[in-house]
A and B are shown apart, each in its own frame.
Chain A
Amino acid sequence: MESHPNPAPAAKRPRRRRELLFAIAFLLVTALLLHFAAAVLRPAQTSYGSTWSAFLAEPEDSLDVIYLGSSFAYCDINPSIVYEHSGLTGYVMGGSEQPLSITYWYLREILRTQSPEAVVLEATSLYFKRYQNYTQTNIVPMPFSLNKLGAVFTAAEPELRLGLLFDLYFYHGRWQELGRADVKKALFPHQWDEKKGFTPMNEVLEGVGEAPYVADRQVSGEDYANNLFWLEKVIGLCREKDIRLILTVNPSYTRCTPEAYASLAEDVHAIEPSVEFYDWSAMFEEIGLVPTLHLYDGGHLNQDGAAVFSAWLGGFLTGELGLTPRAQTAENTAAWQSCVAWWEDYLAQ
């Protein structure tokens, strides 16, 4: 039989189409494998903020309050204790030294699955620089979405963007330390836990709590204006979604002067007068906090301090501000009660 080294164009066309389909299939499978490899190699983020995998395990539209901000949010607020004293479900979705630009993209992403009544934003980030030290830790754990891309391109240092888009760039060297837990985390990315974004600090560092360190934080005019720009976007988003925005300054022995916070409140109210602003930085006694027992490092509360403050906060949110817990499924109520019990045991140890 005679061979045809150059098949007729009509015969070539179906082959080309078939090859194209196979090429697309190959690229899709490769993308899936890459995604899986990245998920295995990416380190788990279960504390110190940005705990997206646990957050995404929360039932949709089940959270009453979202707590945002920096370490002052995730060290000071224990949502399970807030729930115990108010019935308000909540989650801390702050991140280490998180600038407001990232906070804005966090809130947008959070609102894809949750519809909180209020957002409590710890306001210290208004004094942060445009880029702080933990951009990578803040953005990498975000689920891939337009909001993550927004964070990468508007809130991250340009030199980090490649790694933030393709995080094997940061973490591929972890292959030497992989364990079963890393594979499990990739196979089951939504891992529920009792901490609800809270990070317990279990000690009082030496010398902490004897006298407060009061000094205004230094921030450049450009950075401050940038922070107010992103705050305005947060305010706009809350307004659009009919969410109460509450700005707080949590109790701290590393704080600014009352005048600085008053000035901050003025600037916030110049953007939106209805935003509620509370300076609790010096209210240790009123809340029931004992500085030598309840501070971790002067700036942040330890787990016992967070328990005291969270109990007080729960009362404040429902009593003073009139927030009301939404109805929960029996299953979720049981889950929250198990968290309360878990924390009682944990703190009693």
Chain B
Amino acid sequence: MTFLSLPFFCFFPITALGYFCLPRRVKNLWLLLASWFFYLWARPVYLSLLLFVIAASYLTGRLLAGRRKKGVLALCLAVLGVLLFLFKYVNFALSLAGQALGLLGLTVSMPVLELVLPVGISFYLFQAMGYVIDVYRGKAEAQRDFLRYALFLSFFPQVVSGPIARADQLLPQFDRPHPFQWDAFRAGLFRFLWGAFKKMVLADQLAVLVNTVFAAPESYGAVQLAGAAVAFSLQIYCDFSAYSDMALGTAGAMGFTLMENFRTPYFSRSIAEFWRRWHISLSSWFRDYLYIPLGGSRRGTARKYVNVLIVFAVSGLWHGAAMTFVVWGVLNGLYQVAGALTQPLRDRAWAALHVSPEGKVRRLVQVGCTFVLATIAWVFFKASTLEGALAVLGGILRGPLWVPLSMGLNRWDLLAVAAGLLLLLLVDLRSVNHSLTGGYLALPRPGRWAVLWVLLFACLIFGSYGTGYDAQSFLYGFSF
């Protein structure tokens, strides 16, 4: 079941109504059953793996309660890691092994295992790993209540695509009563609608252009390829932040607060800042559970850079089992290393130009450069092969300026997308210093109604759904 589907539009009102109406002692049970039903909708077999992960991490938590048993922790992390490897990376590893043997002159036909990736595995495994590590570190209390812990890993707004919750942040919320609160409810629904707008009107329409151009980069000119690369940067932001908005909105409507996943990342002034504002729940997970255990910045500058590269290579792999993702991750790591190394030089250059460090010019240039660097990296994320990514980047540098060939959208589609992007820009600019939902709730009633109607009808008229449209799956959805 995905957020933008008819089953969900039936599921959510029933779940929310049941949650608010049922006595407090059965609320969590109701949410858990609803969450499992939501998850079962994808494919019944997936649930067994989720249940195994719940049981394994719950037991590990119990074993670690008040005791620092490193072996238990290591065993649990190894089991969870092996599961992730088996379901997500085994074919990639086999193909790499085949290529390595080929380089040694041995021709071996490696098998391709027909494994179906369980929905949300990368998210709930990381959440479970985070929990057992937190219990080991004494940061989180080991849960006694199995039902509450099962709900922590299965909670339907975030089980498929995050945000990856932390035990100390989400678990206590299952103890609170969460009575129906009108403002929280409508703020949640508003946020869901805003997410739907970004997904249906922007991300999925941009996807048409991006998919068309990336499918045959050699057929297009430099401007078109650059346009498609920029369009993908916007598409993936709209797509994933839309999912997060819908997850936070759904949870928020029922009184739960999930971790914010995006803070206008394309307004970042450096790649390091970008990663503090993009997919925050994952970035902070890597910081707390990988970067810091590797030594972080405590073991000298060189080791810090190595750690950054390791973290981003792993982050790349987390996003997908292919060399394109590894390159994307490493490139982001290299940007940060290069950024840190050249910082003094750049500061001197700005000073020589008499440009104020916090002035608009410097900010704009930095934001622009960060966007360009992120966009170049996204090309590797989007392309299905390294050759494809290089063909896009090569075409931007060397190709003809423009080739008269359809990019999949007509001028009316482009106009609608441009108008939508302008709205997104205005909203993001405002959201730097203001709460989006707070601003919505502060509007007078006619204003609130008008906002809802604009978003709703934009989705229903300009959105990508129904006959003649190719509604896209969430990029961070069922394949993670």
List the A side residues contacting B469 at CB < 8 Å: 173
Answer whether residue B466 sits at the interface, using C-beta atoms and an 8 A cutoff. Answer: yes
List the A side residues contacting B462 at CB < 8 Å: 172, 175
List the B side residues contacting A26 at CB < 8 Å: 449, 452
Interface set, chain B 420-471, CB cutoff 8 A to A: 445, 449, 452-453, 456-457, 460-463, 465-469
In the assembly, what is the distance between CA of A170 and CA of B449, in Å? 26
Are A30 and B465 in contact (CB-based, < 8 A)?
Answer: no
In the assembly, what is the distance between CA of A276 and CA of B453, in Å? 55
Are A168 and B466 in contact (CB-based, < 8 A)?
Answer: yes
Answer whether residue A162 sits at the interface, using C-beta atoms and an 8 A cutoff. Answer: yes
> Closest CB-CB distance, A50 to chain B, in whole Å?
18
Are B182 and A16 in contact (CB-based, < 8 A)?
Answer: yes
Are A170 and B412 in contact (CB-based, < 8 A)?
Answer: no
Answer whether residue A183 sits at the interface, using C-beta atoms and an 8 A cutoff. Answer: no
Answer whether residue A37 sits at the interface, using C-beta atoms and an 8 A cutoff. Answer: yes
Are B466 and A169 in contact (CB-based, < 8 A)?
Answer: yes
In the assembly, what is the distance between CA of A175 and CA of B466, in Å? 14
List the A side residues contacting B182 at CB < 8 Å: 16, 19
Contact with B410, one of A163, A169, A171, A176 (Cβ below 8 angstroms): A176
Answer whether residue A327 sits at the interface, using C-beta atoms and an 8 A cutoff. Answer: no
Using an 8 Å CB-CB cutoff, how does the interface string of A161-188 with B read, 1 for contact, 0 for none? 0110000111111011000000000000
In the assembly, what is the distance between CA of A307 and CA of B334, in Å? 81
In the assembly, what is the distance between CA of A232 and CA of B410, in Å? 50
Are A37 and B468 in contact (CB-based, < 8 A)?
Answer: no
> Closest CB-CB distance, A173 to chain B, in whole Å?
5
Are A33 and B453 in contact (CB-based, < 8 A)?
Answer: yes
Contact with B453, one of A30, A163, A175 (Cβ below 8 angstroms): A30
Are A172 and B460 in contact (CB-based, < 8 A)?
Answer: yes
List the A side residues contacting B106 at CB < 8 Å: none
In the assembly, what is the distance between CA of A163 and CA of B456, in Å? 17
Answer whether residue B116 sits at the interface, using C-beta atoms and an 8 A cutoff. Answer: no
> Closest CB-CB distance, B463 to chain A, in whole Å?
7
Are B467 and A37 in contact (CB-based, < 8 A)?
Answer: no
Are A30 and B466 in contact (CB-based, < 8 A)?
Answer: no
Closest to A38 in B: B460
Answer whether residue A34 sits at the interface, using C-beta atoms and an 8 A cutoff. Answer: yes
Answer whether residue A22 sits at the interface, using C-beta atoms and an 8 A cutoff. Answer: yes
Are A41 and B466 in contact (CB-based, < 8 A)?
Answer: no
Using an 8 Å CB-CB cutoff, how does the interface string of A305-338 with B read, 1 for contact, 0 for none? 0000000000000000000000000000000000
Are A41 and B461 in contact (CB-based, < 8 A)?
Answer: yes
In the assembly, what is the distance between CA of A123 and CA of B336, in Å? 76
List the B side residues contacting A34 at CB < 8 Å: 460
Using an 8 Å CB-CB cutoff, how does the interface string of A13-42 with B read, 1 for contact, 0 for none? 000100100100010011001100100010
List the B side residues contacting A37 at CB < 8 Å: 457, 460-461
Answer whether residue B345 sits at the interface, using C-beta atoms and an 8 A cutoff. Answer: no
Are A169 and B467 in contact (CB-based, < 8 A)?
Answer: yes
> Closest CB-CB distance, B395 to chain A, in whole Å?
30
Are B412 and A30 in contact (CB-based, < 8 A)?
Answer: no
Are B456 and A30 in contact (CB-based, < 8 A)?
Answer: yes
In the assembly, what is the distance between CA of A171 and CA of B467, in Å? 8
> Closest CB-CB distance, A126 to chain B, in whole Å?
30
Contact with A175, one of B445, B452, B461 (Cβ below 8 angstroms): B461
> Closest CB-CB distance, B458 to chain A, in whole Å?
11
List the B side residues contacting A169 at CB < 8 Å: 465-467
Interface SS, B side: helix
In the assembly, what is the distance between CA of A37 and CA of B454, in Å? 13
Closest to A162 in B: B6
Closest to A22 in B: B445
List the B side residues contacting A30 at CB < 8 Å: 452-453, 456
Contact with A170, one of B452, B453, B461, B467 (Cβ below 8 angstroms): B467
List the B side residues contacting A175 at CB < 8 Å: 412, 461-462
In the assembly, what is the distance between CA of A172 and CA of B182, in Å? 32
> Closest CB-CB distance, B230 to chain A, in whole Å?
24
In the assembly, what is the distance between CA of A214 and CA of B463, in Å? 49
In the assembly, what is the distance between CA of A172 and CA of B416, in Å? 13
In the assembly, what is the distance between CA of A81 and CA of B309, in Å? 84
In the assembly, what is the distance between CA of A175 and CA of B449, in Å? 23
Are B456 and A170 in contact (CB-based, < 8 A)?
Answer: no
In the assembly, what is the distance between CA of A175 and CA of B413, in Å? 10
Closest to A25 in B: B449
Are A172 and B6 in contact (CB-based, < 8 A)?
Answer: no
List the B side residues contacting A170 at CB < 8 Å: 466-467
> Closest CB-CB distance, B187 to chain A, in whole Å?
13
Closest to B460 in A: A168
Are A33 and B457 in contact (CB-based, < 8 A)?
Answer: yes
With A16-B182, A30-B453 as contacts: A163 and B467 at CB distance below 8 Å = yes
With A22-B445, A26-B449 as contacts: A172 and B456 at CB distance below 8 Å = no
In the assembly, what is the distance between CA of A163 and CA of B468, in Å? 12
In the assembly, what is the distance between CA of A29 and CA of B413, in Å? 28
List the A side residues contacting B449 at CB < 8 Å: 26, 29
Are A172 and B410 in contact (CB-based, < 8 A)?
Answer: no
With A22-B445, A30-B453, A176-B412 as contacts: A168 and B467 at CB distance below 8 Å = no
In the assembly, what is the distance between CA of A97 and CA of B244, in Å? 46
List the B side residues contacting A168 at CB < 8 Å: 460-461, 466
With A19-B182, A176-B410, A176-B412 as contacts: A163 and B457 at CB distance below 8 Å = no
Closest to B462 in A: A175
List the A side residues contacting B413 at CB < 8 Å: 176
List the A side residues contacting B461 at CB < 8 Å: 37, 41, 168, 172, 175
List the 6 closest pairs (A to B, CB-CB), nearest first. A169-B466, A176-B412, A170-B467, A172-B461, A175-B461, A173-B468
Chain B residues near A (Cβ < 8 Å): 6, 182, 410, 412-413, 445, 449, 452-453, 456-457, 460-463, 465-469
Can you list 14 A-B pairs, Cβ within 8 angstroms, ordered by A?
A: A29-B449, A30-B453, A30-B456, A33-B453, A34-B460, A37-B457, A163-B467, A169-B466, A169-B467, A172-B462, A172-B463, A172-B465, A172-B466, A173-B468
